[in-house]
Amino acid sequence: MLRENLERNFGFILHDVARLLRTTYDRRVRDLGLTRSQWWVLTHLFRKDGITQSELAETLELEKPSLGRLLDRLETKGWVRRAVDTKDRRAKLVFLTDTAQAPMQVMREVAAGVREDALLGLSAADQDRFVDALLTIKSNLMGQVNGASKGNGQSGC
């Protein structure tokens, strides 16, 4: 068995960094009274408002009933609304409401602060290279997820 230095394994590091980002963000938005799942839904709607409920469930990797319950709670708070898709009456579109705008502003400001703190000590050029590298990695993996894999299918994260 190959014994690599897991302290330098980018898969482990990336996982740890993502976990620390979420935990830090959770702590900083606690006063908004949102669960991680709820703020994650709101963030994705901020990114792509008016997405179908099915697309949102797929993006968030949630089962449709679980997302439905989350949306029910966010609808009760008045932060999201659902509407029938005029192109497909079976589909529901999900939108942020005007009531969600102020909390979303707070969430975006907190997110910017977390990113700023995380990137402390990196020059602007290093930050750009870092993001470019992540985008390349994402693109490489998206190609594999979408069936364009040239590898052997073995995972070595």
pTM to 2 decimal places: 0.78
CATH number of the domain where residue 50 is located: 1.10.10.10
Nearest of 47, 80, 44 to residue 62 by alpha carbon: 44
- Per the structure, the complete domain to which residue 12 belongs is given by 7-145
Judge whether 151 lies within some domain: no
Q: Is residue 44 part of a domain?
A: yes
What is the C-alpha separation between 129 and 110, in angstroms, rounded?
23
Q: What does each of the 157 residues of the chain score in pLDDT, given as a tens digit?
A: 567 777 888 899 999 999 999 999 999 999 888 888 899 999 999 999 999 999 999 999 999 999 999 999 999 999 999 999 998 888 999 999 999 999 999 999 999 999 999 999 999 999 999 999 999 999 999 888 777 544 444 445 5
Residue 128 is assigned to a structural domain of this protein: yes
Q: How many domains does the chain have?
A: 1
Answer whether residue 70 is part of any domain.
Answer: yes
Domain membership of residue 155 (yes or no) is no
